[in-house]
Amino acid sequence: MILWTLGSFVIVFAFGGVALQLAIARNGPAVLNAVDYLTGNTRGVIRLARISTGDHPAQKLIVWGPSDAVVDPDSHPDPGPNANMGLPVLLFAHGGSWRSGDPEDYGFIARAFVPQGFVVVLAGYRLVKDGGSDGAYPAMIEDTARAIGWTRETIARYGGDPDRIVVMGHSAGAYNVVMSALDCRWLDELGANALRGVIGLSGPYDFYPFDSESTIAAFGNAPDPEATQVFNHVRADAAPALLIHGEKDTLVRPRNSRELAALIETAGGAATLRLFPDMNHNDPLISLASPWRKRRDLAATISAFAGNAARSPRA
């Protein structure tokens, strides 16, 4: 991780937007997180816990909530009729082409949505890097489903409502959460009502045959490659989806979100598509950090969708 000082940001801002974009391109989430922290405010948001969900260092969760949260991690949730009176939960999976990324760098997501009334869970997963195959398919889905399972079982201890979970991801993380929501086998043990909504930012949902270094490394050895594609798991009874994409995205083409929304609607499911003509692949993520958060309506759009989804009963 690159460590940034206040002086470093003075230099970056002196060079203007181009220099900042280059810095973001090198280590985007860490830069966004630092810029958000320096230019925004904590807004009553605190880090509540860091949880290991497996033996691998990348299998971890970071829980964020309001500074006045009542936290009792050693207690068991009350099984009584008033058990689920906590805040709705937004679980976020990071991007990085399935080979990079760390939830430690995404505190700006928590600072965007905890003040809107959510407990935020930042989810890590095993990655494909340095020639290793730890994170190759289906590891990223298994770990995301495990994160959702932990949240479902335990988030009440941190002030969240396990019956009001919405999942969100950017890029590779969008694939992870949407695949977890649509392919029934990953969340079967949690029950049909495990999720209230799913949000994909700049997500790849149809990329077979694999023709890039990252997809070949992550999916090239899958025994049934077509089964790795989100398009092949669309179903009517899945949680409502919000699919967000920039029309200028040349890394993951906007047709991924456009066609997935159409497939879900054709199947009888619920999908909301938001296309932004002026955004590229990373702009939806950048729009969730200060100071860009106030200039665009994306955070408000996500908050409204997640809030409505969390309040709507599932059949």
Model pLDDT for residues 88-141, shown as the tens digit of each residue? 999 999 999 999 999 999 999 999 999 999 999 999 999 998 666 789 999 999
pLDDT at 315: 53
Ranges for all domains in the chain classified under CATH 3.40.50.1820: 44-311
- At 3 the pLDDT is 44
Residue 14: per-residue pLDDT: 45
Q: Which CATH architecture has domain 44-311?
A: 3-Layer(aba) Sandwich (3.40)
pLDDT for residue 68: 87
**In whole angstroms, what is the distance from residue 30 CA to residue 253 CA?**
25
At 22 the pLDDT is: 58
Q: Amino acid identity of 35?
A: V
Q: Which residue has the tokens 């997935």?
A: 260
Helix (H) or strand (E) holding 310: helix 298-311
Query: How many alpha carbons lie under 13 Å from residue 205 in its C-beta half-sphere?
Result: 34
CB 152 within 8 A of CB 74: no
- Share of the chain residues as helix, strand and coil, in percent rounded to the nearest 5: 40, 15, 40
| Structure-token pair, residue 174 | 């969008």
Running DSSP on this structure, what letter comes out for residue 238?
A: S
Q: Alpha carbon of 225 to those of 138, 145, 252: distances in Å?
A: 11, 20, 19
**pLDDT at residue 6, rounded to an integer:** 46
Give the list of residues 6+ apart from residue 262 with CB closer than 8 angstroms, or none.
Answer: 271
| Dist CA 214 CA 210 (whole Å) | 9
pTM (predicted TM-score): 0.89
* Rounded Cα distance, 105 and 94, in Å: 9
Instruction: Count Cβ atoms below 10 Å from residue 60 Cβ, excluding itself.
Output: 20
The separation between CA 143 and the C-alpha centre of its own chain, rounded to angstroms, equals 13
Reading the block at residue 118, the tokens are: 């959510």
Give me the average pLDDT of each 10-residue run along the chain (315 residues). 44 51 70 92 88 96 92 59 75 97 97 96 93 87 96 96 97 98 88 86 98 96 97 96 98 98 98 97 96 87 96 71
Distance CA 303, CA 142 (A): 27
| Per-residue model confidence (pLDDT) at position 74 | 65
Beta strands in 131-276 (DSSP E): 160-170, 197-201, 241-246, 271-276
